[in-house]
Amino acid sequence: MPRRKNPVVDMKDIVSLCKRRGFIFPGSEIYGGLANTYDLGPLGVEMLRNIVDSWWEFFVHQREEIYGLDTSILMSPRVWEASGHTESFNDLLVDCKNCQLRTRADHIIEDYLTKNGKSEKVEGRSAKELDTLINKYKIECPECGEFDWTPARAFNLLFKTHIGIIPGEKSTAYLRGEIAQGMFVNFKNVLDTMHPKLPFGLAQFGKAFRNEITLGNYIFRTLEFNLAEFEYFFDPNEQDWMEYFKFWKEQMVKWIVGLGVNEDHLRWRVHTDDERSHYSERTEDLDFRFPMGYKEMFGLAYRTDFDLRNHMEKSGVDMTYTNHKTGEKIIPHVVEPTFGINRVLFALLTDAYNEDGKRTVLELAPEIAPYKFAVFPLVRNKPEIVEKAREVFKHLNKDYNVAWDDRGNIGKRYLSQDEIGTPYCVTIDYDTLEDDTVTVRDRDTTEQERVPFRDIAI
């Protein structure tokens, strides 16, 4: 099936397929839902695990100088004070005085500019500047249509919680707003146990939480989300950060294109001085063309020695690295590639979605497809056919995640598996009983081939 040239997928088509076929469900749906939360269904969780496994293999297992970690979601609040998050991790919000809608000021301005074909820099603007833009364009509330906003004000994104069971003795804690800090605070532990030589990296995958107020855009921006990232430490006296920055940019693109994303739908964007995070000297985003336009999928930042230096000063623990050749002690600098895994899932679903009027197909790479094969007994009322199909299923299931499908006719089964991205369908019929051959049908070309079932492999 030929893919459309530069397809633009409608958001409602992706949302409908994901709900209908068990990829993504609205969070707390039976109670009316909870805004900006989503649950992964049986197929979504399989696809996410495949994405993470691919990331870990590409960036960790294939590189001897990168070590994995899995750090705690709850950390000492002093971590977030040292990192600057309790002071600087803010969004600017506005409220509609008429209907009480609360939203990010920059988002309603960006949405207005996009819909009206206007171009103006919004990222990194101050509260006063955002108020000026809202009044300049007389931007109405997207819920009630009124133009009556409160002034923009800062709102910290960290989720605050408490540790302890006695009300008067509870201590404040935060759900992590990023996963990087767990790697920085374990820097000395890794030095003491693994004795790595610079340059080296620390990598992890896990949940992060941000108390964001946002409108729509499906799983692009949610209250909790999955991140994968690594901190790549180096000696700034011996290595040029720009070389590492360039190298990791290339590797980030190589990985995501290898999973099936169209490189024409990617573009790098450099952060301005105003929008760049407090810890970064240079940040670039790898944007992807989502159904709602180009938005950030990955980030790459040069964090200098900001984090290690601050944690060393605030904790009193020596976070220096001793150069094995010169004996000199330094605080390493860091280049940090960050990957929004939920956004990778969204992007892969978007670029894989295809339809021609006769069928809808998710042209997912076999590496990330929820099922690699689907096994069909030609009929389900013949015990000998079903038994043989079970034998084929068990054979394939030793190495791959395999679907069993005996519902309806073969044609409907093909359409069903096409829609969830299964690369190959294997049909067991009467001839299989005689010679152990099966019909293997390719999802993308719809071509069929007769092969011995024990020879099937991806």
pLDDT tens, position by position, 229-262: 999 999 999 999 999 999 999 999 999 999 999 9
Nearest to 6 by CA among 262, 356, 267, 358: 262
Mean of the pLDDT values across residues 187-201?
A: 96
Task: Report the predicted TM-score, pTM, of the whole model to 2 decimal places.
Answer: 0.89
CA distance 147 to 80: 37
Contact 73, 158 (CB under 8 A): no
Both tokens of residue 380?
A: 């389900």
Q: Which of 449, 454, 452, 434 is nearest to 394 (CA)?
A: 454
Domains of the chain: 11-75+180-354 (3.30.930.10), 90-156 (3.30.40.230), 371-455 (3.40.50.800)
**35-53: pLDDT as tens digits:** 889 999 999 999 999 999 9
Q: Is 192 helix (H, G, I), strand (E, B) or coil?
A: helix
pLDDT in tens, 306-361: 999 999 999 999 999 998 888 899 999 999 999 999 999 999 999 999 998 889 99
Question: What confidence tens digit (pLDDT) does each residue in 414-428 have?
Answer: 999 999 999 999 999
Chain position carrying tokens 């152990």: 436
Token readout for 274 is 């105003």
**Rounded to whole angstroms, how far apart are CA atoms 43 and 161?**
32
* 391 contact partners, CB below 8 Å, separation of at least 6: none
* Burial bucket for residue 383 (CB in 10 Å: 0-12, 13-18, 19+): exposed
Edge-to-edge, what's the strand order for the sheet holding 159-163? 74-75, 171-175, 159-163
> What percentage of the chain reaches a pLDDT higher than 90?
74
Q: Which two tokens stand for residue 202?
A: 């620390």
